[in-house]
Chain A
Amino acid sequence: MMREESTLEARDVHAGYRQEDVIEGLSIKIAPGDFIGIVGPNGSGKTSFLRSLSRALKPRKGVVLLSGDDVYRTPARAVARVLAVVPQDPTMSFDFCALEIVLMGRNPHLGRLQAAGQRDLEIARLAMERSNVWHLADRTLSELSGGERQRVVIAQALTQSPKLLLLDEPTQHLDIQHQLALLELLSEMTEEGLSCVMVMHDINLAAQYCREIVMIKGGREFARGTPVDVITAANIMDIFRVDSIVTKHPVTGKPSITFLPGVQAHEDVGIRVHLICGGASGAPLMRELLERGFYVTAGVLNAGDSDAEVGEALEIRMVTEAPFSRISDRAHAANVELIRAADAVVVTEVQVGSGNLKNLEAALEALESGKKVVLLSPHTIDERDFTGGKATGLYGELISRGAVEVTEEEAVFSLIKSDLAGDENGRSDKARR
């Protein structure tokens, strides 16, 4: 059979978790030899986009086509023969040795009962040499450092002999020497016809190596083009809220970015908001606040709660408690710490039981220490009070001590912004709507 060209195309993909869309209408087209870097701030949907390309997060709308076929209707095996993925944080529950892990990459090419043969071993060895882990072949994963583990997973993906390679921040655990070695390797392989799509935090490195850059903000495409066209001080200001100087690198001719101190990343409005939420009551607000440039924290949430999951996807700083457990003193103390650092606390329409009642006490403490506290639709508390009235009592106290009542999420943003941006320690008048 002739070797056919493999292309990957996403058309108007919308995808997310639970009810929240994290990406809203992204498209991309990847041809053989492409080297595309995806950049954007935390929570912009980069990883989710990569997952939806790799058959792991089914789009709610739009399609992902691998050489013309919908990947979600193609068997995993057929996809894995041409498309390999390097996940962001490969966790391993069991302690395989490096060579065993790498050999698993041959799986899509082997018959169900077929053992790896001499040729498969040879492919695995080459991949391990290329990513510089061959000398670690007989070590178990627990004996390896984070960077070594990362390179083993890269070798595993290369062992799939893919035509397309998707990498999610492949350089994050690597030291600079290995970062460069990896990017050189990928660059070399794309010249041989491999297509690479890479999510990158380091814009400088992305600018040096990628031939095309896609900038993402808020789940949508912000800019796309060659590094020279896209990586500009204006764009960086727009999506990262960071001042920078972009110059042409004297040797490579690629854009080179120097970041300027003074403006803190992710804090364009310079306001930090802490959310007290849970059970999907806070997820929409997290997204909105982030997009509006607030720095968002949340807690205490039970791990696995849908708000905790969305928060994790958006890379928000959170305090979490074990699933189904009541808030421990330790979690509560950590939460109070986060609140102390925040400018305002927003309490969503969360159901309150004895397990999370402490969160309301934390809000009361915040109020007493002069923080702004906003209550979303406090009048509904009696419907979501499962503490036999304690929660309702605390709400009453919060209101009487100056917490602001608001019935629409829209009002939250303007309220916090206007009050805090104008008057630094401002405890505001009650704004009712």
Chain B
Amino acid sequence: MEVSRAAVKGTQAVPRVLFELRRRRSIVLLALGACLILVFVLGVALGPVNVPVSSSVKIILNRLPLIGRLVTGGWTHAQEAIIVSVRLPRVLLALLVGMGLALAGAVFQALFRNPMADPSIIGSSQGAALGATIAFFIGIQARWRGLSLVPLFAFAGAMLAVFVVYSIARRGGRVSVPSLLLVGIAMSSFLAAIVTTLMVISEDRMHSIFFWLMGGIGAASWMHVLTVVPFILIGAVVCILLGRDLNIMSLGEERAGQLGLGVEKFKWAMIATASLVVGAAVSVSGLIGFVGLITPHIVRQLTGPDHRYLIPGSLLGGGLFLVLADLLARTVISPSELPVGVVTAFFGAPFFIYLLKRRGKGID
């Protein structure tokens, strides 16, 4: 269809190249989406009590609006209770947090023209963690229309950390890889020290803050899911819509300006968006590293660097990665479980080293 219509217009050559690219990228996105659904269902079905996949699917479908009525019978109350109040919120939270971290990673990588940028490497996650810890510490229970204010504290912390790291690492309009990593690491350690101090001071809450920080989504509830949904959703929509601007930004600030992008305004809007997403993710799940580094990297190999595909691909890939990591976290040493941040680090740290090695061979 598409091809024949273009041919009629007589400029078939141009669309053909783009058409090929788009088709290949759309297939990648569809495949990622399909994998995500598969992993999602497995995540819901598997656990200390295995629920048959067919029943799991039925229970989920039954909860959906419109088609819910058509799906009836075939599961027990106990199964329904496990899935609806334990597994589903947990898997959904893993999905959302994974999406958010990968989204922020993709955005930071474009802004800093730096494929090593990741919320946990450039200090943004630690900033968010400090913001959230302060919120816990001073006992913020306030809610606005049912939404917790903790993510906003985390947002402020993330924003501030990125701002400081960026200002220090930037030299002559460029943020070089080594200085970004060094400043990010220094900043992260500094912020982590403050978090630890606060943790020790607040003895009674120390245990819960500690487990939260380790990157756990074990205590996930529907409340957590509702808390992060709006932030991730807004971030995702904004970044997808501004995909073309991100492409131009990834050519470097000076070039982006020459191509008509209002660089300063755009940069800070994107840093704010990414910080909002990181803040939300960290406030419910603590520090989960490497998702934001690995996901956009692998997705970029598949979709190419066009952010109109890379951003949706990273959202799907990030969700996929973290749901899978969480599934491993709670099954490999069952009946106890690992914090999910530990699992992502098992995959992420070697991958990070691999990237550093490859860079060393002179691609950049």
Residues of B within 8 A of A303 (CB): 176
Complex CA gap A280/B342 in Å reads: 45
Q: Which of A103-111, A247-255, A260-268 lies at the interface with chain B?
A: A103-111
Residues of A within 8 A of B18 (CB): 99, 121
Known A-B contacts A95-B304, A113-B241, A323-B178; the reply to A104 vs B259 at CB < 8 A is yes
Interface residues on B, range: 35 or more
| Additional A-B contact list (5), CB under 8 Å, known A87-B258, A93-B114, A121-B14 | A55-B257, A77-B262, A97-B17, A99-B17, A107-B261
- The answer on a CB contact under 8 Å between A17 and B172 is yes
- The answer on a CB contact under 8 Å between A92 and B178 is no
Q: A319-331, CB under 8 A of B: which get 1 and which 0?
A: 0001110000000
Q: How many A-B residue pairs have CB under 8 A?
A: 117
Q: Which of A78-86, A290-298, A405-413 lies at the interface with chain B?
A: A78-86
* Chain B contacts with A in 81-135, Cβ cutoff 8 A: 110, 113-115
- The answer on a CB contact under 8 Å between B259 and A95 is no
* Chain B contacts with A in 257-286, Cβ cutoff 8 A: 257-263
Residues of A within 8 A of B305 (CB): 94-96
Complex CA gap A104/B261 in Å reads: 11
Residues of B within 8 A of A110 (CB): 244
- The answer on a CB contact under 8 Å between A105 and B364 is no
Residues of A within 8 A of B113 (CB): 93-94
Q: Which of B41-49, B157-165, B197-205, B247-255 lies at the interface with chain A?
A: B247-255
Least CB separation from A17: chain B residue: B172
Is B143 positioned at the interface, with any CB of A under 8 Å from its CB? no
Most buried by A among B9, B259, B262: B259
Least CB separation from A18: chain B residue: B172
15 contacts between A and B (CB under 8 A): A51-B254, A55-B258, A76-B257, A76-B263, A77-B262, A80-B260, A93-B113, A94-B113, A96-B305, A99-B14, A107-B248, A108-B260, A309-B171, A323-B182, A324-B178
- The answer on a CB contact under 8 Å between B11 and A121 is yes
Least CB separation from B170: chain A residue: A304
Q: Chain B's interface: helix, strand, loop or mixed, by majority?
A: helix
- The answer on a CB contact under 8 Å between B254 and A104 is no
Picked from A87, A97, A322, the residue with its CB within 8 Å of the CB of B255 is: A87
Distance (whole angstroms) from the CB of A22 to the closest CB of chain B: 13
Picked from A51, A56, A90, A93, the residue with its CB within 8 Å of the CB of B364 is: A93
- The answer on a CB contact under 8 Å between A56 and B176 is no
- The answer on a CB contact under 8 Å between A125 and B14 is yes
- The answer on a CB contact under 8 Å between B304 and A112 is no
Complex CA gap A108/B260 in Å reads: 5
Picked from A56, A93, A108, A122, the residue with its CB within 8 Å of the CB of B250 is: A93
Q: Which residues of B pack against A, CB within 8 Å?
A: 9, 11, 13-15, 17-18, 20-21, 110, 113-115, 171-172, 176, 178-179, 182, 241-242, 244-245, 247-248, 250-252, 254-255, 257-263, 300, 304-306, 364
Least CB separation from B114: chain A residue: A93
- The answer on a CB contact under 8 Å between B247 and A138 is no
Residues of A within 8 A of B14 (CB): 99, 121-122, 124-125, 137
Residues of B within 8 A of A104 (CB): 244, 247-248, 251, 259
Interface residues on A, range: 35 or more
Distance (whole angstroms) from the CB of B356 to the closest CB of chain A: 13
Known A-B contacts A17-B172, A92-B251, A121-B18; the reply to A79 vs B260 at CB < 8 A is yes
- The answer on a CB contact under 8 Å between B259 and A107 is yes
Known A-B contacts A87-B254, A94-B250; the reply to A137 vs B11 at CB < 8 A is no
Residues of A within 8 A of B171 (CB): 304, 309, 323
- The answer on a CB contact under 8 Å between A93 and B115 is yes
Least CB separation from A134: chain B residue: B13
Least CB separation from B305: chain A residue: A94
Known A-B contacts A99-B18, A304-B172; the reply to A56 vs B9 at CB < 8 A is no
Residues of A within 8 A of B300 (CB): 94
Is A75 positioned at the interface, with any CB of B under 8 Å from its CB? yes
- The answer on a CB contact under 8 Å between A160 and B259 is yes
Complex CA gap A122/B14 in Å reads: 7
Residues of B within 8 A of A122 (CB): 11, 14
Most buried by B among A100, A104, A113, A322: A104
Complex CA gap A137/B14 in Å reads: 9
Is A91 positioned at the interface, with any CB of B under 8 Å from its CB? yes
Distance (whole angstroms) from the CB of A49 to the closest CB of chain B: 15
* Chain A contacts with B in 301-337, Cβ cutoff 8 A: 303-304, 309, 322-324
Residues of B within 8 A of A304 (CB): 171-172, 176, 179
Complex CA gap A297/B241 in Å reads: 49
Least CB separation from A128: chain B residue: B14
Q: A263-277, CB under 8 A of B: which get 1 and which 0?
A: 000000000000000
Known A-B contacts A95-B304, A324-B182; the reply to A76 vs B251 at CB < 8 A is no
Least CB separation from A92: chain B residue: B251
Residues of B within 8 A of A54 (CB): 258
Complex CA gap A323/B183 in Å reads: 11
Residues of B within 8 A of A90 (CB): 251, 255
Complex CA gap A108/B262 in Å reads: 10
Least CB separation from B171: chain A residue: A304
